Structure 1
Amino acid sequence: MDSLTQIVLGAAVGEAVLGKKVGNKALLYGAIAGTIPDLDVMFGAMTDTITAIEWHRGFSHSLLFCVLLAPILGWVVNKLERKYSLGWKPWTVLFFLGLFTHPLLDAFTTWGTQIFWPFENRIAFNSIFVIDPLYTVPFLISTVWLMFYKRDSKSRRQLNKAGLVISSSYLLLTLGIKTFVEHQFENRLESQNIAYTQISTRPAPFNTLLWNANVDTPNNYLIGDYALLDSQPIQFKSYAKQREASNSLLDFPNVQRLITISDGWYIMEQKEEQWYFNDLRFGLIPKRDGTSMFSFSYELNLVNNAIVATEVPKTTTDAKFLMSGLWERLKGN
């Protein structure tokens, strides 16, 4: 999830653990804990594109990382906050929960989180977009509001509990909506007698009313969308896999790494002698000219007998057009 959301979650967790004893210091240290796992992007900026993708939500989002770091932070903060005479263990609990709830929340998004690093499998429930105001805004309001109450105030505890309960309930609701939406896509495929091997669904940006689906068929991928307010049947657009045309690229280790990252949901295409690797997990971005581009696409170049991947940049114009069309699509077809 986005940084603000993780800060709010970490702060609320810190408040739940030690708010009654240390007041707003619990919010502060919880917010710090909730931020730490995403510092992996700083290390990613120092390396190549593929390695940066592999590192993100890797070790720093793992249970092992939280177990190792929490006691260290707990010991340090206990030294800094001697006046509370809590000892290092309560602070360690705060930091562990503040750290670990970060990857747990990230696991509900599409990118995937290596909670059980060093095992390579990433957990991705694909039920919430990385920025979702319905999750964050109520949570943020309750967390900021409680700061103005004394640490032993009953209202303070109730506000924090409300924020945690409402946000957690919303996460569970997204799983229920996802299950319902998947049935809609599956029923539509069945009604059209379309044979497929797997289907992957995810919410569109900033909401859980509009959903996208990738459908894997023998020779093509089908991509469609469905809004909860739709009255018309789901329509799918077909994209050729082009596996035979891109077979020569499979011998390059970096291409295999990209395939692993995309969990097998990819299309490699050639445009004017230039090859691109498209990660299908994040869907399409519509453009003003009526075409569309994949949200995450990488230009592949041969440098010193190795493939180098460079992410294709997205423009602010594309983002503005996406937002304007998104609101209309949410209303149904």
Structure 2
Amino acid sequence: MDSITQAVLGAALQGTLLGRLQGRRALVYGAALATVPDLDVVIHYADPVSQMTYHRGFSHSIFVLTGVALLLAWLVAWIGQRRRPDAGYRWPRLFVAFWLVLVTHPLLDAFTVYGTQLFWPLTLTPLSWAAVFIIDPIYTLPLLMAVAYAFWRGPGRRARGLMTAALIFSTAYLGFGLAGRMTVEQRFEQALQAQGVAPREVRAMPMAFNNLLWRVLAKTEDGGYYEGVSSLFDREPPEMHYLSLNAPLAKVLQDDPLYTRLRWFTDDWLRYDVVGSTLVVTDLRMGIPGNYNFRFAMARRDEQGQWQVETPSRWRDNGTSMFNGGDLALIGRRILDQHPPLPLQAWTARAMTPAAASGVSR
């Protein structure tokens, strides 16, 4: 999730648990502590594939963060008992508060589609439950308002009650997102089966700034996939179109360790395209059709027409952005109205337009 959401979640948790002890400082400390796992972004990697796949790694591990919480609780309790022995700085209470503030950060990240290595150093596929978009005002605003009230009035009983209510609502909202994802996946699978298609794997993820409208992917046995859109308010089958994964193009990359790592991180939700003389590998999980967040130029044809694997660089889709006003307006309208359907094929065609590759990875 975005940094503001993580900060207000941490502030709400620590303000609720330690507000009586620390006052307004609990809100500030909680907000700061909750951002600690994202400090891994300061580490610079040599290529964008590494930058993507090592983010949300060791710093998001529940094992590492439990150790940090233990150490921090011991340190704060030791200092507190010497400076303010009657203030109530007890290790168990501090540990629970710090652990929750730290661990809820990667847990919330795991509810997005990106991928979070909760159990690092175990090499399990990164978790991506895809129940909420990376920026969702409905999740964030109740927490933000409760924390702002607590900072204004102080974390007294009323303020702590508001923060507790906001935490309960935000948690329930994540559950609503999971239920919505399962609903649209089942609906999409049924729509394909009605066409005589038996999908091999189905994956849904929320579209921009909401969890009412979902983009759904379904792999098929013939090496292709369907991409479509479904709203929780739909009464008709979702719009969809069929594309090829172009998996044979991946043979040139089979000995590349960065490609192997990318397949692992994305759970192999990858498509391959030849754009000009460049082999472009796309993470299908994030973005909208034709405008994906993570596309990488990973090989290039030489003058003899032979593929040469190269250090990955970011591939830009014809200078477009998934946050342009026109597309967002269509997405917002589509939540409630199924007609006209989103222009999936037109959006996808944009991805085939040659664009500049860039080494910028953020």
TM-score, normalization by structure 1? 0.90
Q: Which aligned pairs between 1:30-109 and structure 2 lie closer than 5 A?
A: 30-43=30-43, 45-78=44-77, 82-83=83-84, 84=87, 86-109=89-112
- After TM superposition, the structure 1 stretch with the greater mean CA deviation from structure 2, 124-133 or 49-58, is 49-58
Amino acid at match of 2:162: L
Paired with 2:231 and 2:154, the residues of 1 have a C-alpha distance of 44
Paired with 2:287 and 2:158, the residues of 1 have a C-alpha distance of 43
Counterpart pick for 2:261 among 257, 260, 283:
257
The CA deviation at 1:52 is 1.6
Amino acid at match of 1:325: L
1:243 aligned to 2:247? yes
1:157-183 Cα distance to aligned partner (Å, 9 max, x none)? 211111111111111111122222222
- After TM superposition, the structure 1 stretch with the greater mean CA deviation from structure 2, 243-252 or 54-63, is 243-252
The CA deviation at 1:54 is 2.1
Gap change, CA 1:245 and 1:97, over 3 Å in 2:
closer
User: Which secondary structure state, in structure 1, belongs to the residue aligned with residue 153 of structure 2?
Assistant: coil
- The residue aligned with 1:206 is 209
CA RMSD in angstroms comes to 2.2
The CA deviation at 1:37 is 0.5
Identity %: 33
Gap change, CA 1:68 and 1:318, over 3 Å in 2:
closer
Gap change, CA 1:227 and 1:154, over 3 Å in 2:
same
* Preserved CA contact (<8 Å) 1:231 1:332: no
User: Which secondary structure state, in structure 2, belongs to the residue aligned with residue 148 of structure 1?
Assistant: helix
- The residue aligned with 2:291 is 293
The CA deviation at 1:119 is 1.1
* Larger relative contact order, structure 1 or 2 (CA cutoff 8 Å, min sep 6): 2
Counterpart pick for 1:163 among 158, 166, 189:
166
* Preserved CA contact (<8 Å) 1:202 1:211: yes
* Preserved CA contact (<8 Å) 1:143 1:163: no
Paired with 2:244 and 2:154, the residues of 1 have a C-alpha distance of 61
- After TM superposition, the structure 1 stretch with the greater mean CA deviation from structure 2, 203-212 or 76-85, is 76-85
Paired with 2:321 and 2:183, the residues of 1 have a C-alpha distance of 33
Paired with 1:318 and 1:146, the residues of 2 have a C-alpha distance of 35
Paired with 2:291 and 2:19, the residues of 1 have a C-alpha distance of 47
What is the aligned length? 324
* Preserved CA contact (<8 Å) 2:24 2:150: no
Counterpart pick for 2:121 among 109, 118, 124:
118
